[in-house]
Each structure stands twice: as structure tokens, then as C-alpha cells.
Chain A
Amino acid sequence: MPILNEKNLKGRVFKSRLNSQGMLISTGRVIVGAHKKLNENNALASFPLGSQWKNVEAISVNGKSEDSFTAKHIGVAEGLESMEAISLAKKHGLKHLVNTSKADYQRELNVAAHMIEKSDELFKYPVASVFTPEAVDERNEDKFKFVEYEFSKSTEKYNALILLEVELEKISSNESLITNIRTIADELFTNAVYNAPNKAKGKIDHRNQGAQMDAGKSAKIFLAKDEKMLLIGCIDPYGSLHPGDLITRIDNCYSNGVAQSMSMSEMGGAGIGAYMAFDLSTSFYVGVNPGVASIVMCAIPLHVSNRKIQKMPKNYHFLRVGSE
């Protein structure tokens, strides 16, 4: 699949890349207790010993308020509200949360395990890491990804967002879905082009003065899907994102309100973009390899009402390479 950029975008007829397999098979392969309905109680017992994941531990988190979690823990919950869910990350260090009330929880368990055990693959094949975590390779990366745009300047934002909208309109006429993806994409793009390079240098930007990455560096924003889920993601080459800061900002917005959490300074961002992206998505994936790359991805169900999506409990995954 060609990577689009500022040079080859103009004059191009936007065509969505139809998946060569046609309708994709479900990626929700059962990895634990086949044909058995799991919840936060029996998922722990059913997480298979001797499976391909050796160094992870699934642990029930419903009702937990005191324990601290390590990077190898995958929290399993049933129907946890967003505010309570992110509080587990902020106050108790939980890095991965999977809600078993969602139909694709087996896949999310595998995503978490893969991020813990094979973190380098998340940055190489981010889409496959989410859609087929048991088989992360270039073939699956290309199977689900249908558009990708490479950028290095803030002035490229409108090109990138228009491209994403045009491609989205080919798969759904749901204006709310398209608007939500556009909102997330705007925040991901802005973070990559403004925050990433400046944080890497310990600087803060003047947000309305434009930005450009260092020579030779560029970020990519992409869309991927199967028949049930849409994934929007962005990877930058700086690795300056701090998952802990992200969690704190999201938690602040839920706990104190968005207006109270907003930075009104002339410098830097408003500090609520991560919350906006998190709140609009049903699964949130963050990976940071310090000094090398940062990736943020958000998943939203396809062909599901916005009302149902808003009621869905969330999954999240935060990875910082090298941390315990």
C-alpha cells in the first residue's frame, strides 16, 4: 500500500484500498476457554498457562482499590466506568485494562500480552498488533490498514484530515463517526507535530506559529479496519511522549472537569486532547520507546450507534519500553 504524503497527494484520485481478501474474517479468536463465557472472575483462571504468553498475568480489578500493578499485569474487569478505569492507571499504576463485557475481549487480552512481551513489534506493525496480536507481521499489517499519510509540518494537517475523511466516507455515511475520527485524528496529528519534537528538546511551542519536524524526520497517521472495528493511529519518531503525563491529564479531566483541567497558557497545548481522544474511543493504545518513537491509536466500533458506543466500557494499554 503506498504511503501518501504532501508530494503525491495532490491530484490523486482518492481510492480506498479494498482489502484483497474481501470481507475479513473475525479477529476475535478465542485464546482461553473455548466456547466458555468469560467474566472478570473466570478470565483469570482461564488465562492459559503454557500459552504463547509467558511473562504476563491477568488479574481481576473490579473492586480493587489498594493494590499496585506492574507492567506485566493485565487488569480484567466487567463494565468498569471510564473514570474508575483511568483512576486505576493513575493511582495504582495499571497499564492494561480489558473489559470482559465487550465481545472482543479475547483479542484485547492478546493485544495486552503482545505489548508486554513483544513491545518492539508494536512500533513496527502497530495495526497487526491490534487486529491480530497472535500473528503480527507485515502481511497482517497491510491487510487491515487502508490509508496512511506521512507528514512533517503543521501546514499539512488539512491535507491529512481531508484524506482521512474522504476515505472514511467510502466505508460509512455516519457523519458522527466521521466527525469523531476527525477529532481524534486532529489531536493525534497536533501532538505529533507540535508536542513530540518540542518535548524531545525540552521546549514548549507557540501553538499558533506553526511547526516543522527536524530534517529527515516524519510522522505517519493511518486508518485501519475490519468488518467490526475502525482504528485511527499516529506514530512519530521522537519517543518523547510520557504515558504517565497522559494518564494524569485524562484522569484530571474526568475528576475535575475539562474546563478546570485546561491550560489557558499562550504556550503549548490545551492539555485536554488526550482526554478527547480517549473519551471518543472504546480502546486506547499508547506505546513509547523513549528517544525512538511514540504511537497512539484509538479504536471505535463500526456500524454501531453512537449511543451504544458512549455506554461501552473502555480498554486501555499504556507501554513505555524499559519501564517496570
Chain B
Amino acid sequence: MSSFNFKLVDQEGSLRVMLRGHIDEDIQFDTMDLNGASEVVLDFKDIASINSCGIREWIRWVSGVAEGAKLVFENCPKIIVDQINMVTGFLPTTAVVRSFYVPYYNEDTDEEKMVLFTDGKEFSQGSIDAPEEITDEKSGDVLEIDVIEAKYFKFINSKAS
């Protein structure tokens, strides 16, 4: 019983795969027919979780996809960025991250905000300039970046070397 599903959207020149739910031991990627697309955009916006078995299934599947298509990762939540940095092969060497979320947090109010960083704006392939603080528009509270930058942005900085 898998709580994962996906939606394929043909876009000009690429196939967008909207991923949704949980990547775990129940996932079955073989039902996803990418129809020989030359560029595949994996949209992680609605991915809620991934466990150790899900990481294994992902590695098995994505390595095969990367052989035949250019892969682009978009809207990666923190749990996916953590795996990109932690597990070699989670982001195939030929794939790129086009956008991902960075958490900002205020300890006094326990408020957290996920800020989307996009290639060409907040970062480029090989460099990143993340603000240490942001101000929440509604509350006026100041939130600090809530990652260890060297660790969280490793996948970007590694492109520079």
C-alpha cells in the first residue's frame, strides 16, 4: 500500500514529473513511464517524507533514468536536500538542482519559514549567497538561516570544484 503518486506533465522540450507523498519501501517506480523524454524535471514540492528503504529504491531508479535523460530537480524540500548531500548518487552527477528550500527560524517564537532558492537568483551552479537573516513579512520577526551552510550547500559548492 503506497502513499506515493505522481503526475506526468508534458512541457515544451521536457517532461515534468510531479512527485507526491512518501518515498518508502512501498514505492514502485516501474509504473512511471517517462516515454523516452530527453529532459525530465522532477518536482519534489509535494514530497512529504523519505525513509531508508525509499532512499535505496530512489538510488536504483534514478541512476537508470539519468543514463537516458537530462535530470533536473526542482522545489526540493529540506528532506530531499539532506539526502542529496548525505547519499552519493541521490543526485546523479549529470543532474542539476534548479530550486530548493532553505529553512529560516526564530528560536524565541519557534517560527520557521521555508524560503525557495532558485538557480540564477539566490544561487548558481557552483556558488551561493544566502542571507543570514530574513524578516517575516507578516509578523515582522527576524528569522535566522537554520542550516550549517557548509553542509547544506555542499551539493552546490561541489559543482565549483
Q: Do A and B come from one complex?
A: yes
Chain A residues proximal to chain B, CB less than 8 Å = 155, 158, 161, 172-176, 179, 182-183, 186-187, 190, 194, 207-208, 210, 257-260, 262-264, 269-273, 276, 303-307, 310-311
In the complex, how many angstroms separate the beta carbon of B87 from the nearest chain A beta carbon? 5
Q: Which of B129-144 contact A (CB under 8 A)?
A: 144
Binding stretch for chain A, among B47-55, B92-100, B119-127? B47-55
Residue B86, interface by CB 8 Å: yes
Please, which residues of chain A bring their CB within 8 A of the CB of B146?
A: 176, 305-307
In the complex, how many angstroms separate the beta carbon of A232 from the nearest chain B beta carbon? 14
- Complex CA gap A221/B79 in Å reads 22
- Complex CA gap A311/B149 in Å reads 12
Residue B114, interface by CB 8 Å: yes
- Complex CA gap A146/B53 in Å reads 29
- Known contacts: A173-B112, A179-B78, A190-B25. The answer to whether A306 contacts B147 by CB under 8 A is yes
Please, which residues of chain A bring their CB within 8 A of the CB of B1?
A: 155, 158, 210
Partner of B103, one of A173, A176, A208: A176
Residue B105, interface by CB 8 Å: yes
In the complex, how many angstroms separate the beta carbon of A225 from the nearest chain B beta carbon? 14
- Known contacts: A270-B52, A307-B148. The answer to whether A175 contacts B25 by CB under 8 A is no
Contacts A273-B52, A307-B145 known; 11 new A-B pairs at CB < 8 A: A158-B22, A175-B103, A207-B25, A208-B25, A208-B28, A257-B88, A258-B87, A303-B107, A305-B107, A307-B105, A307-B144
* Cβ B110 vs Cβ A303 within 8 A: yes
Please, which residues of chain A bring their CB within 8 A of the CB of B88?
A: 257-260
* Cβ A311 vs Cβ B25 within 8 A: no
**Chain B contact surface mostly:** mixed
Residue B59, interface by CB 8 Å: yes
In the complex, how many angstroms separate the beta carbon of A305 from the nearest chain B beta carbon? 5
* Cβ A175 vs Cβ B112 within 8 A: yes
B88 nearest in chain A by CB position? A259
- Complex CA gap A306/B81 in Å reads 14
Partner of B110, one of A174, A187, A259: A174
Chain B residues proximal to chain A, CB less than 8 Å = 1, 3, 22, 24-26, 28, 49-53, 55-56, 59-60, 77-79, 86-90, 103, 105, 107, 110-112, 114, 144-148, 151
- Complex CA gap A208/B2 in Å reads 9
In the complex, how many angstroms separate the beta carbon of B25 from the nearest chain A beta carbon? 4
In the complex, how many angstroms separate the beta carbon of A89 from the nearest chain B beta carbon? 20
* Cβ B105 vs Cβ A305 within 8 A: yes
In the complex, how many angstroms separate the beta carbon of A192 from the nearest chain B beta carbon? 13
Please, which residues of chain B bring their CB within 8 A of the CB of A307?
A: 105, 144-148
Please, which residues of chain B bring their CB within 8 A of the CB of A194?
A: 25
* Cβ A273 vs Cβ B51 within 8 A: yes
In the complex, how many angstroms separate the beta carbon of B62 from the nearest chain A beta carbon? 12
- Complex CA gap A190/B53 in Å reads 9
- Complex CA gap A304/B144 in Å reads 12
A-B contact pairs, 7 of them (CB 8 A): A158-B1, A179-B78, A194-B25, A259-B88, A260-B88, A270-B55, A305-B144
In the complex, how many angstroms separate the beta carbon of A95 from the nearest chain B beta carbon? 24
- Complex CA gap A270/B88 in Å reads 14
- Complex CA gap A84/B51 in Å reads 25
- Known contacts: A176-B112, A311-B148. The answer to whether A272 contacts B103 by CB under 8 A is no
